[in-house]
Amino acid sequence: MPIKGGGFSRKSQASSDVPDSSMADIAFLLLIFFMVTTVFQKDRDRPIIWPEAEATQKIDEKLKNILNIWVQRDGSIFINDRPYAMGEVSSVVAPLYAASDRALVISIRSDREVQYNVIDLLQKQLVAAGVVRVVFATELEQRMQRERR
């Protein structure tokens, strides 16, 4: 009596399925990789108290075309996390403006108590750099708040 299969009745141990239990791990690895490598903002927030305005509007411009100029309460100016003197602003902004294909928008993020002559000098620096589109960054003021004032 011949044995069926010549005695090799054991099946192959190698699975014919693609292993899919680790696919979730791969997905999460990709997710975490992109989370870690994505950079959204170039500069960190400076400690300022925002001025408030009721007419605050969202700025319809790509994030990479917005340059923040921070003015702290003591009048010190920060661009991209570095402090600059007032006289340097124009020469810092001008090459960035040229690199952005004249699309750069300056967001002046100034403390509410800064003396206006600082802001005026800053505007003159920006005009000298050829930048004309400027945003005075503000927080949205609610009408209720305003009436209390």
Partner 1 sequence: MAVLDKKKSKVSDKVPSSSMADIAFLLLIFFLVTTTFPKDKGLAIVLPEEGGEVQVSAQNILHIIIQPNGLVEVKRGDSQQVQVVAARDIEGIWRQDVSENDNLIAAVKTHPQAPYRFMVDVLDALHTAGAERISLQLFEG
Name which of 121, 123, 145 is nearest 53 in CA terms. 145
Taking the complex as a whole, the smallest distance from the CB of residue 107 to partner 1 amounts, in Å, to: 6
> Closest CB to partner 1 among 44 and 146?
146
Q: Say whether residue 43 binds partner 1 (CB under 8 A).
A: no
Q: Say whether residue 148 binds partner 1 (CB under 8 A).
A: no
29-34: which pairs have CB atoms within 8 A and are 24 or more residues apart? none
Radius of gyration of the CA atoms of the chain, in A? 29
Within 10 Å of residue 47's Cβ, how many Cβ atoms? Answer: 8
Helix or strand holding residue 52 (H, E): strand 52-53
Q: Say whether residue 123 binds partner 1 (CB under 8 A).
A: yes
Which 101-120 residues touch partner 1, going by CB under 8 A? 105, 107-108, 110-120
- Return residues touching partner 1 (CB under 8 A): 20-21, 23-24, 26-28, 31, 40, 51-59, 61, 63, 66, 71, 105, 107-108, 110-120, 123, 126-128, 130-141, 146
